[in-house]
């Protein structure tokens, strides 16, 4: 991976962090209108170094349209966005929900490569598979082996809670519009790439 892709990824992460900060600032500035009734508010996903693994409960927020959804043992993976960017990469994002009866640990999502062990509970082991072009695209990494993907706070997701996630991959050729997203022992999800 060259410096251009690394810098593009860092700029995208900075933009997410700034946007999240602005959303939190605006939501915290709700003026008092003399009405003591509590108001419903949507929580913005938290974003830190390595991604937004913040858990959230916001039944009043409007859910994003799902592009794909797969169910595994005690966890549901929802994909809400698959975008090809100008910089030559594809960003996949969505939500993971713990539907089991105990804390879900994302350890098998980090991948088997020795280099990926430093990423902890993350989507470092995710891949896009282009069956037409017969290629597998792994999550992008910086020069120190850190993935350009979400690292889950606390190592996973609590029972009944959800966490937002993202992962960035090298872009397949422009004529490839459908790929399979794979991570851990989850079934593959067929997704269509949209142009960003």
Quick check: 15 and 122 in contact, CB under 8 A?
no
pLDDT tens-place string over residues 8-17: 555 655 555 5
pLDDT at 2: 55
- 74 domain-assigned: yes
- 180 domain-assigned: yes
- 36 domain-assigned: no
- Residue by residue, DSSP assigns 140-194 as PB-TTS-BSB-B-GGGEE-TT-EEEEEEEEEPPPTT--EEEEE-TTSPPEEEEPE
Least confident of 108-117, 148-157, 158-167, 175-184: 108-117
pLDDT at 117: 66
In which domain, by residue range, is 147 found? 3-29+46-56+63-195
pLDDT band at residue 57, thresholds of 50, 70 and 90? very low
- 141 domain-assigned: yes
- 120 domain-assigned: yes
Least confident of 46-60, 80-94, 117-131, 137-151: 46-60
CATH code of the domain in which 187 resides: 2.60.40
pLDDT at 8: 57
pLDDT tens-place string over residues 24-52: 444 444 444 444 433 333 333 333 344 44
- 41 domain-assigned: no
Q: Whole-model pTM?
A: 0.65
Number of domains in the chain: 1
- 165 domain-assigned: yes
Q: Identify the residue with better confidence: 97 or 106.
A: 97
- 35 domain-assigned: no
Separation of alpha carbons 135 and 97, rounded Å = 29
List beta partners, residue 195. Answer: 84
């Amino acid at each position: 991976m060259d410096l251009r892709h690394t810098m593009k990824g860092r700029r995208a992460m900075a933009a997410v962090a700034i946007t999240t900060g602005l959303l939190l600032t605006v939501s915290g500035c709700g003026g008092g209108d003399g009405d003591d009734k509590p108001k419903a508010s949507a929580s913005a996903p938290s974003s830190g170094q390595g991604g937004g693994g913040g858990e959230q409960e916001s039944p009043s927020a409007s859910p994003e349209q799902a592009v794909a959804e797969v169910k595994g043992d005690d966890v549901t993976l929802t994909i809400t966005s698959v975008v090809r960017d100008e910089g030559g990469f594809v960003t996949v994002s969505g939500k993971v929900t713990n539907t089991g009866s105990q804390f879900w640990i994302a350890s098998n999502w980090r991948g088997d490569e020795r280099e990926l062990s430093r990423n902890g509970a993350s989507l470092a082991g995710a891949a896009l598979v282009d069956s037409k072009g017969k290629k597998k695209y792994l999550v992008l990494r910086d020069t120190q082996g850190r993935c350009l993907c979400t690292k889950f706070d606390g190592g996973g997701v609590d029972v009944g809670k959800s966490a937002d996630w993202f992962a960035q991959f090298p872009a397949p050729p422009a004529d490839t519009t459908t790929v399979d997203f794979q991570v851990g022992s989850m079934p593959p999800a067929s997704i269509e790439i949209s142009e960003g």
